Amino acid sequence: MAEKGFLDHPDLIDRLEQLGMHINDKTKAEAELRRLGYHSTSGYRYPFRKLREPLTDELIKRREFRHDEFEAGSRFEDSIALADFDTKLRAVILTGIFDLEVRLRTAIAHVIAQKNPKGHLDISCLDTNRCLELTSSQNETSKFEAWKAQYESDKKSKNNDDFIAHHTLVYKTEIPVWAALERVSFGTLIHFYLLMKVEDQNDVARKFGVRQGTKFGSWLLSIMDLRNDCAHGARVFNKSMKRNVSVPPNSYFKKYLKHIDKTLTADKVYMPCVLLAHMLRCHESGTNWHNTFKTQVKKLPQIYLKELSEPLITAERNMGFPSNWQELEIWNN
């Protein structure tokens, strides 16, 4: 198959029209492509494309589930509205994750500092067996060594921070854990949490309404994946998440998550977002993030095509939300 060649914005607009997408204002449409990009908005046009039926094994292998042509009633403006909705959704999600990140750094540092102010580099303060595990069967580096290497890399990139420079010059020793964990990425912070003793993990997890520290760790990894998607501008409204997380009834306190059962789609954006809302609401500082998130989700564009009697995109079908989600306690004051 010949590779796609370059097309200028007017030609791209003409191609979309030829494939059946209605464009009300070509000049404005070209401006939108210059603002958002043709390729980056392709995922928001994808739901408008006709499904291939039947799907052959070859088509599935090539991940060609839809035709290039659009369904009747497809409008360019609707695809842009969907893209703008997703942009704002990512911003709201990131705000919540940033809030969680600050609280998590504080909680972890407090638990470790009670053992040793330099406990982030003292294997005796952590779970020895887990620290000595290899990062993979093909790599002889232990998880503790990998953590230290990543920590040193993160710290080196921030050597000019006032606190690090001051501490290094005055005390000439390693910075304490409460400062050290401020200098690592969210992912590195979570991997450090996974090296902690189970009882210390439990101590941290309970501050966020979670009984089981190991389960809390798996939920954090799910939120980390979502954070990476949001930070890099990936589409999230209908994305399949990298990890499926389980939420057994005995893994959490309070009743915010009691609606989660096996009927919910575990690999959609709802799952990490409801876990995030639970963590923030259960923390002693409280939050209003759940209301902000709910408000944004309710702004999902209502898009109708000529052949459909219901919206093309819904929070329930495409984002994994339960049918009665707006009435649930987790999303209300």
**pLDDT tens figures, 91-116:** 999 999 999 999 999 999 999 999 99
The answer to whether residue 75 is domain-embedded is no
Do residue 27 and residue 162 come from a single domain?
no
Establish if 4 belongs to a structural domain: no
> Cα 114 from chain centroid?
31
Q: Quick one: 41 and 101 in the same domain?
A: no
pLDDT at 5: 80
Closest by CA position to 154, among listed 134, 178, 180: 180
The domain in which residue 57 lies consists of 9-70
pTM over 0.85: yes
Q: Which of 47, 70, 93 is the last residue of a domain?
A: 70
E strands, the chain, where?
Answer: 49-51, 66-70, 134-136, 139-142
Are 238 and 289 in contact, with CB atoms under 8 Å apart? no
297: in domain? yes
188 and 42 share a domain? no
Whether residue 274 is contained in a domain is answered as: yes
Predicted confidence at residue 159, as pLDDT, reads 64
**Does one domain contain both 107 and 232?**
yes
Regarding whether 90 and 66 lie in a shared domain, the answer is: no
Give yes or no: residues 196 and 268 share one domain. Answer: yes
User: Omega of the bond prior to 301 within 30 degrees of 0, cis?
Assistant: no
Asked which of 19, 40, 70 is the last residue of a domain, the reply is: 70
Q: How many domains does the chain have?
A: 2
* 24/32 Cα distance (integer angstroms): 13
Look at residue 282 in the predicted model and tell me its pLDDT: 96
pLDDT score at 212: 94
Which of 23, 38, 70 is the last residue in one of the domains? 70
- 113 with 28, same domain? no
Q: Which tens digit of pLDDT belongs to each residue from 251-303?
A: 998 889 999 987 788 889 999 999 999 999 999 999 999 999 999 999 999 99
Q: What is the pLDDT along the chain (333 residues), one digit of tens a residue?
A: 556 788 899 999 999 999 999 999 999 999 999 999 999 999 999 999 998 877 677 766 667 678 889 999 999 999 999 999 999 999 999 999 999 999 999 999 999 999 999 999 999 999 999 999 998 878 889 999 999 999 888 877 766 666 666 666 666 677 889 888 988 999 999 999 999 999 999 999 999 999 999 999 999 999 999 999 999 999 999 999 988 888 998 999 888 999 998 778 888 999 999 999 999 999 999 999 999 999 999 999 999 997 777 899 999 999 999 999 999 999 998
* Residue-level pLDDT at 204: 98
